[in-house]
Amino acid sequence: MTDVAATPPLLAAATAMLPDVLEIRRLIHRQPERGLQLPLTQQLIVHELERLGLAPTRGNALTSVTALIEGASPGPTILLRADMDALPLTEDTDLPFVSEIAGTMHACGHDTHVAMLLGAARLLAERREQLAGRVLLMFQPGEEGFHGARSMLEEGLLDRPADEAVTGAFAIHISTRYPTGTIDLRPGPMLAAGDTIRITVLGRGGHASTPHLAVDPITVAAEIVLALQVMVTRRVDAFEPAVLTIANISAGTTTNIIPETAFIQGTMRTVSEEVRERVRGYVRQVAEGVAAAHGATVDVDIEPGYPVTVNDPAFTAFVTRTATGLIGADRVVTLDAPVMGSEDMSYVLQQVPGAMVFLGGRPDEVDPLTAPQNHSNRVEFDEAAMAVGIALHAAVALGHLAAGAGEPDARRTG
């Protein structure tokens, strides 16, 4: 088997193909789709994979796409993942390829993820002779709250013969938090679990001039909101991160009526399952206790979101070495703490050792303190960074399969 290190540099090859990849990215950006059903995006992906001589498979309950790149010799399988869906935002940028769909925008960079993985597929398809095993390409809809990765697992994403088992998984997420072209990662918890909290306060309605004859759910709701913030600071260890944000409060119809109910909802983020379960219990305890003190009752609903995204330490060390060989040690950053966003790549990493990394997408001339972040309708990602993402996908796949074939030195990619 040819040593990966002896091949033409992957980053140079990725940079050379970048104009073609950008054309794909911009087409997806113009026609964003949300949720689990993304027929236009799916068809584009299928077309591009078929152009590479691959045989893509479409999902059943969702518009996912998978494809295998078969290597020239036997070995394990590595999974490379890109999410596909957009967000419910109306774009407010001056990009020449601005979204043409009102109320929908690729504000989290998933259009770049799809394009980068298609670019990496091209690099890998051209290097089949170097693959000892196979690469499983995972194009996933429904990352933005729809549990698309879980649905793909339920449809048999990882169901393979023992000698073709998936032994590693890798994903890249672009972000304007970080300078263009950097790779930012950490072993262990990388992103938080995210649960949704919904609390309905049940009081007793009445006239606003006689609150003593009613049970005002609005004041109870207000006290619950404040008590939840105190709970986080006084019940949870400061070295075990937890974030609880109430982002919506609704109650009442006019100025002189005390309503019967008030509704509050928000999100809870934690980076360990133990703290996650404890905080869930604390939320119920606080809401029920505050309500009881005022003669009200509550209905507390905590909807489980994505689990903690945990990077396998050994695989993360391998990715760190691979990225360092690709772009240099000064461009590879080990994060001090997890990011409190959440990701459904977590479902895959619960079953397969692997890692998810951030790719810096903030132009050098942009102030990091004012740069629009992911999920902003003004966010703009530096497309030049995508060459690094393309090359890193390919380098990780080549290195992992070479190591699986007993050639650990082949991890020196670049």
State residue 362's pLDDT score: 96
Do 150 and 58 belong together in one domain? yes
Per annotation, catalytic residue among 33, 306, 343, 347: 306
State residue 405's pLDDT score: 54
Q: Give the Å distances, CA to CA, from 380 to 25, 132, 383.
A: 13, 38, 9
Alpha carbon distance 149, 83 (integer Å): 9
State residue 406's pLDDT score: 53
DSSP state of 204: B
Do 182 and 200 belong together in one domain? no
Do 197 and 326 belong together in one domain? no
Do 117 and 235 belong together in one domain? no
User: Is residue 178 annotated as part of the catalytic site, yes or no?
Assistant: no
Among the candidates 274, 303, 332, a domain finishes at: 303
Three-state secondary-structure class, residue 390 = helix
- Determine the structural domain holding residue 222 and report its residue range: 193-303
Question: The domain that contains 264 carries what CATH number?
Answer: 3.30.70.360
Among the candidates 303, 320, 353, a domain finishes at: 303
Do 359 and 241 belong together in one domain? no
Do 97 and 199 belong together in one domain? no
Question: The domain that contains 373 carries what CATH number?
Answer: 3.40.630.10
Q: For residue 265, what are the contacts with CB-CB under 8 A and spacing of at least 6?
A: 196, 197, 198, 199, 246, 247, 248
State residue 310's pLDDT score: 98
Per annotation, catalytic residue among 33, 91, 260, 383: 383
Do 31 and 109 belong together in one domain? yes
Low-confidence stretches of the chain (pLDDT beneath 70): 1-8, 405-414
Among the candidates 238, 271, 303, a domain finishes at: 303
Place of tokens 């693959």: 131
**Phi/psi at 126 (nearest 5 deg)?**
-75, -10
Per the structure, how many domains does the chain have?
Answer: 2
Do 42 and 168 belong together in one domain? yes
